[in-house]
Amino acid sequence: DAGVTQSPTHLIKTRGQHVTLRCSPISGHKSVSWYQQVLGQGPQFIFQYYEKEERGRGNFPDRFSARQFPNYSSELNVNALLLGDSALYLCASSTGLAGGQNEQFFGPGTRLTVL
Amino acid sequence: RKEVEQDPGPFNVPEGATVAFNCTYSNSASQSFFWYRQDCRKEPKLLMSVYSSGNEDGRFTAQLNRASQYISLLIRDSKLSDSATYLCVAMDSSYKLIFGSGTRLLVRP
């Protein structure tokens, strides 16, 4: 079985541009979460989607948006890129079901560099 | 104050040593707890979930103390391949993961 997949693996953009990152969860998982990880820090929560509905949003500006598709894949969009948006963007997949530990499994990430 | 706090290390230990990492969390409503392992420039990988009763997986033992809001990870008989950053994680009631900044472990020959 394939794990969580993300594309692209690396991306270089300039300030002010827009970027779209993509994620496909583990087969059977209905929840996708997005995290941003800057060097030397733990990942920071951006969004969570379950059954195509936003279930949570972290403390990120409105330049960040996301959506989940009927096949449970997801996109993260970032507008008007800033230098500080340079980071590893991680997608995590989980069943999303209430109860239980609800472990989240991460994809390999997209490394975004903003110049 | 950070929601999940860890000693950043690095912990530099010889092969075969036992090493313990500790972590505290501030949100008493946190539902679930985990340890993830992250290698340099890679994604975090789930090492183990942490239960109140304590749980063991081979050389790894995790403990949770809800009264003290404290989580621990014990690694016995350290291997060179254990060198990584260990992330302590709390899950809140909305299934959001709150990560610590990580503890770096270096196991030397």
Percent of chain A with pLDDT over 70: 96
Mean pLDDT over the full length of chain B = 94
User: How confident is residue A16, by pLDDT bands cut at 50, 70 and 90?
Assistant: very high
> Helix and strand tally (H, E) in chain A?
0, 11
Show residues of chain A in contact with B96, CB under 8 Å: 33, 45, 48, 56, 58
Torsion of CA A11, A46, B82, A4, to 10 degrees: -70
**Chain B residues within 8 A (CB-CB) of chain A?**
4, 32, 34, 41-46, 49, 87, 89, 91, 94-102
Pairing of strands A5-7, A53-57: unpaired
For chain B, how many helices (H) and strands (E)? 0, 11
Give residue B62's pLDDT.
96
Q: What is the pLDDT of residue A1?
A: 61
With the CA atoms of B26, B35, B77 and B42 taken in that order, what torsion angle do they form, in degrees rounded to the nearest 10?
-130
Per residue in A66-78, pLDDT (tens digit) is: 999 999 999 999 9
Grade residue B50 by pLDDT with cuts at 50, 70 and 90: very high
Average pLDDT score over chain A: 94
Cα distance between residue A103 and residue B56, in whole Å:
17
How far is residue B108 from each of residues A5, A17, B11, B15, B61, measured CA to CA in Å? 33, 44, 10, 6, 21
Which chain A residues touch B32 with a CB distance below 8 Å? 101-102
d(CA B63, CA B50): 6
The pLDDT assigned to B103 comes to 96
Please check the confidence at residue A98 and state whether its pLDDT lies above 80.
Answer: no
What is the pLDDT at residue A38?
A: 96
Chain A residues near any Cβ of chain B (below 8 Å): 31, 33, 35, 40-45, 48, 55-56, 58, 88, 90, 92, 94, 96, 101-109, 111
Tokens of B74: 């014990």
pLDDT of residue B52: 81
Residue matched to tokens 């990880």: A37
Residue A4 and residue A58: Cα distance in Å, rounded?
Answer: 21
**pLDDT for A17:** 98
What's the CA gap between A29 and A46, in Å, rounded? 19
